[in-house]
Amino acid sequence: MQLEDIKTIGIIGAGTMGQGIAQVCAQAGYKTMVFDVEAQALEKARQRILQNLDKGMERGKLTNADKEAALKNLTYTGDMLQLRCDVVIEAVVERLEVKQSIFQELANINTPATILASNTSSIPITQIAAAVPNPERVVGMHFFNPAHIMKLVEVISGAATSPEVAHIIKELAGKLGKTAVMTKDSPGFIVNRVARPYYTEALKLLEEGVADVETIDKLMQASGFRMGPFELMDLIGVDTNYSVTTSMFEAFQYEARFRPSHIQQQLVNAGHCGRKSGQGFYTYA
């Protein structure tokens, strides 16, 4: 397959990341089909993409014709059998067994030519690919949040990923207006591995009573970070951030430096998942 052969892209999961990824694919001219098991998630994604496109117009970055063209490229479905596409990008919850079962199903629905990409933040691509025949077409395509704005994409090759597949995904990222960096398959890849202590140490300070959420965020911002760790966890999704830490804790043989925080676990248990649920470390209107 060549880059020019890619005409249709499927997005699995219409949450925080799936929404933004679908938007950039549609804006780049690809017929984009978004699938989620929750009808409500699909409706939220549709509304959020519309809001983002309107904002783009207000800022003079998009014309009405750009917006209409992007909207025309988007379809939403609750039926996974419809996802027969040239490339599928999976962005569901950060759980290996869920991702593996989706990849198995995708492999059944599509021909071996379809590239199966995962937006996982931390799960080794080799493990996801182990669940499917033709694992050479499984690759990591890790966008950053918000996906319609952030330019970086990590392209991750698992043990079986073919160099051609990694290369075409790098080219596709370029077509979506992103800068792709090739990385090896390691838990958390590069950015999430380096960034992990930003969250875990902030949570330890909170647990030890050294400082409160607002103080830690203000100080980190004043020291040059664009967002403090707690507002960033709320943006990412407290549940997603917690799952990523948990997955890395397991992958690194329970090394103490990756130990997930009880405070974070409690928030997740209470359904306080950050901006997407209206409540996290902060409250949102």
Closest CA to 71 of 31, 11, 16, 12: 31
* Residue list 199-258, contact with ligand NAD (CB under 6 A): 236-237, 240, 244
Q: Which member of 90, 142, 157, 261 is catalytic?
A: 142
- Do the annotations mark residue 79 as ligand-binding? no
Q: Which member of 73, 122, 192, 241 is catalytic?
A: 192
Determine whether 121 is an active site residue: yes
Helical residues (DSSP H) of 94-159, grouped into ranges: 96-109, 125-129
Residue 17 makes contact with ligand NAD by CB under 6 A = yes
Strand ranges, E, within the chain:
8-12, 31-35, 74-77, 87-90, 115-118, 138-143, 152-157, 179-184
Phi, psi of 141 (to 5 degrees): -135, 90
Phi-psi region of 29 (alpha: psi -120 to 50; beta: other; left: phi over 0): left
Strand partners, 31: 8
Residue 92 makes contact with ligand NAD by CB under 6 A = yes
Determine whether 148 is an active site residue: no
The amino acid at 33: M
The amino acid at 203: L
Determine whether 142 is an active site residue: yes
Residue 41 makes contact with ligand NAD by CB under 6 A = yes
Q: Which of these segments, 51-59, 115-123, 162-170, 248-256, binds ligand NAD (CB under 6 A)?
A: 115-123
Q: Which member of 73, 90, 122, 154 is catalytic?
A: 154
Residue 145 makes contact with ligand NAD by CB under 6 A = yes
Q: How far is the CB of 170 from ligand NAD (least distance, A)?
A: 17
Residue 43 makes contact with ligand NAD by CB under 6 A = no
Determine whether 52 is an active site residue: no
Neighbour-count burial for 79-94, b at 16+ CB within 10 Å, e otherwise: ebeebebbbbbbbbeb
Q: What is the C-alpha to C-alpha distance for residues 35 and 33, in angstroms, rounded to an integer?
A: 7
Q: How far is the CB of 239 from ligand NAD (least distance, A)?
A: 6
Interface residues with ligand NAD (CB under 6 A) are: 12-18, 35-38, 41, 91-94, 98, 102, 119-121, 142-145, 236-237, 240, 244, 276
| Binding-site annotation: residue ranges for NAD(+) | 13-18, 36, 94, 99, 121, 145, 276
Positions annotated as catalytic residues are 121, 142, 154, 192
